């Protein structure tokens, strides 16, 4: 008869066997390889440690640069989906999931997007943002369950974020979304991975081995953050939520963001602080409405009408006046 302790030991042994089976796969991953530049890392001084990390970090931008064509494809797809009422849904685990959560959570204050437009799903749920729940990463069932709850459709874009490209939770979620007709993309740091096989478009930022082997919150994490920045910034710009290079859709919910909105209007329209404050007040505290009012020389109702007609695209709303001429 098996006792409780015996069952635990058996389960533990099976877990070890599973890890042995996966060892050869892990060894082939660039992100799990040893970095020659950081040999003897534990013997280095603080200055040497900082220099080695900085030297390795300098490789990140060039690795991301190689994936720009794929990044551009995802930008356009996300813009199309959001324009048609769809969503951008990130799926991640561990550090990758936290980076995805950060990007998703910063879209509403930056671009005044609705909370549901850019979402994230993370292995272990929201509590995993602050504490490690890494065991959930291995569950395909949980990945499928969590994405199924969001009911992905052909209007949505689901982006799996995984440095290794083989996290079962993320792969299963992306595969499920793909089967339901959603557009899918992978953001990874390794070539020829299960996640790439499950996605329509794969963005690979091959940053090479980490300073500390397998610690993908380092270069891989930086690369993923850069890629996600490009995706949302690019998509929101394509949607017209940026005018010139100004964050005109900023949501003025606190004093810093309110002052930012005022300065944006001052810069775009070459007016002083007092004039900017007055026009923003008359525009109902909306920078896009104020900008269209000033640039197109129209009243608030007309500015609102134009923005509705252009789906919030500020430049198109302003140029509506030119088209009418």
CATH number for the domain that contains residue 291: 1.10.8.1080
* Contacts for 50 with CB less than 8 Å, ≥ 6 apart: none
Across the chain, mean pLDDT equals 88
CA distance linking residue 275 with residue 219, whole number of Å: 46
Asked if the structure places residue 218 within a domain, the reply is yes
In tens, the pLDDT along 181-229 reads 999 999 999 999 999 999 999 999 999 999 898 888 999 999 999 999 9
What DSSP string runs through 153-181?
-TT-EEEEE-SSS--HHHHHHHHHHHHTT
Quickly list H helices, 149-286.
Answer: 168-179, 194-198, 219-238, 255-269, 273-282
Q: For 60-98, what is each residue's pLDDT tens digit?
A: 999 999 999 999 999 999 999 999 999 999 999 999 999
Q: Could you tell me if residue 270 is left (phi over 0), alpha (psi between -120 and 50 degrees) or otherwise beta?
A: left
Task: Mention every residue, 6+ apart, whose C-beta is less than 8 A from residue 170.
Answer: 91, 92, 93, 96, 123, 137, 143, 160, 161, 162, 195
Helix (H) or strand (E) holding 54: helix 46-57
Same domain flag for 221 and 79 = yes
d(CA 238, CA 114): 17
The pLDDT of residue 140 is 92
The C-alpha atoms of residue 13 and residue 216 are separated, in whole angstroms, by: 27
Same domain, yes or no: 133 and 232: yes
Has residue 117 got a pLDDT over 80?
yes
Question: Is the domain of 203 the same as that of 305?
Answer: no
**In the listed set 207, 238, 269, which residue is the last one of a domain according to the structure?**
238
The answer, yes or no, to whether residue 23 has pLDDT greater than 70, is no
pLDDT for 2 equals 35
pLDDT at 5 over 50: no
Q: How far is the CA of 109 from the CAs of 21, 106, 187, 260, in angstroms?
A: 45, 6, 24, 12
Task: Specify the DSSP class assigned to residue 243.
Answer: B
210 & 295 share domain: no
Same domain, 126 and 209: yes
Residues 269 and 145 in one domain: no
Whether residue 49 lies inside any domain: the answer is no
Gap between the Cα atoms of 138 and 70, Å rounded: 27
Residue reference for tokens 């635990």: 8
More confident residue, 18 or 188: 188
Answer yes or no: do 227 and 131 share one domain. Answer: yes
The verdict on 193 and 229 lying in the same domain is yes
Rounded-to-integer distance, Cα 88 and Cα 230, Å = 14
User: 137 and 262: one domain?
Assistant: no
Residue 10 has pLDDT above 60, yes or no: no
Same domain, 218 and 301: no
Instruction: Catalogue the active-site residues.
Output: 106, 137
Helix (H) or strand (E) holding 61: helix 60-65
Cβ–Cβ < 8 Å for 287, 252: yes
Domain carrying residue 220: 60-238
The answer as to whether 80 is a domain residue is: yes
Point out the domain boundary residue: 210, 238, 266. Answer: 238
263 & 187 share domain: no
Residues in CB range of 113: below 8 A, 6 or more apart: 82, 107, 236, 241
Q: Is 187 helix (H, G, I), strand (E, B) or coil?
A: strand
Q: 168 and 67, same structural domain?
A: yes
Q: Say if 188 falls within a structural domain.
A: yes
Q: Which of 315, 306, 311, 316 is nearest to 283 (CA)?
A: 306
Q: Is residue 45 part of a domain?
A: no
Residue 141 is part of a domain; what is its CATH number?
3.40.50.10490
Count other Cβ atoms within 10 Å, centred on residue 132.
11
Evaluated on CA atoms 153, 157, 161, 164, the torsion sign reads positive
- Across the range 95-103, mean pLDDT stands at 95
* Contacts by 34-40, CB closer than 8 A, 24 or more apart: 34/209, 34/213, 35/208, 35/209, 35/210, 35/211, 35/213, 37/211, 38/211, 38/212
- Report the number of distinct structural domains present in the chain: 2
Establish if 303 belongs to a structural domain: yes
What six digits make up the tokens of 117?
A: 């437009």
Most confident of 231-235, 240-244, 309-313: 231-235
Of 187, 203, 238, the residue that ends a domain is 238
Residue 118 within any structural domain of the chain: yes
Q: Is residue 46 part of a domain?
A: no
């Amino acid at each position: 008869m098996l006792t409780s302790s015996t069952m635990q030991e058996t389960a533990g042994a099976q877990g070890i066997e599973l890890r042995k089976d996966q060892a050869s796969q892990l060894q082939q991953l660039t992100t799990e390889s040893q970095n020659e530049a950081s040999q003897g890392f534990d013997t280095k001084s603080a200055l040497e440690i900082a220099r080695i990390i900085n030297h390795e970090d300098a490789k990140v931008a060039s690795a991301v640069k190689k994936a720009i064509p794929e990044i551009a494809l995802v930008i356009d797809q996300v813009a199309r989906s959001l324009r048609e009422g769809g969503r951008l849904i990130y799926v991640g685990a561990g550090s990758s999931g936290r980076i995805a959560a950060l990007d998703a959570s910063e879209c509403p204050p930056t671009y005044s997007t609705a909370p549901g437009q850019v979402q994230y799903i993370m292995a272990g749920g929201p509590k995993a943002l602050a504490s490690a729940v890494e065991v959930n990463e291995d569950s395909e069932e949980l990945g499928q369950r969590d994405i199924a709850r969001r009911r992905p459709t052909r209007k949505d874009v689901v982006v799996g974020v995984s440095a290794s490209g083989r996290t079962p939770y993320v792969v299963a979620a992306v595969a499920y979304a793909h089967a339901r007709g959603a557009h899918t993309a992978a953001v990874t740091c390794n070539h020829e991975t299960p996640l790439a096989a499950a996605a329509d478009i794969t963005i690979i930022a091959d940053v090479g081995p980490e300073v500390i082997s397998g610690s993908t919150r380092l270069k891989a994490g930086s690369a993923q953050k850069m890629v996600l920045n490009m995706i949302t910034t690019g998509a929101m710009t394509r949607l017209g939520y940026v005018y010139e290079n100004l964050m005109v859709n900023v949501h003025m919910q606190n004093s810093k963001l309110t002052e930012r909105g005022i300065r944006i209007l001052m810069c775009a329209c070459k007016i002083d602080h007092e004039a900017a404050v007055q026009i923003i007040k008359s525009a109902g505290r909306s920078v896009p409405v104020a900008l269209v009012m000033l640039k197109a020389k129209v009243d608030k109702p007309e500015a609102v009408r134009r923005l509705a007609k252009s789906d919030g695209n500020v430049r198109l709303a302003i140029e509506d006046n030119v088209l009418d001429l």
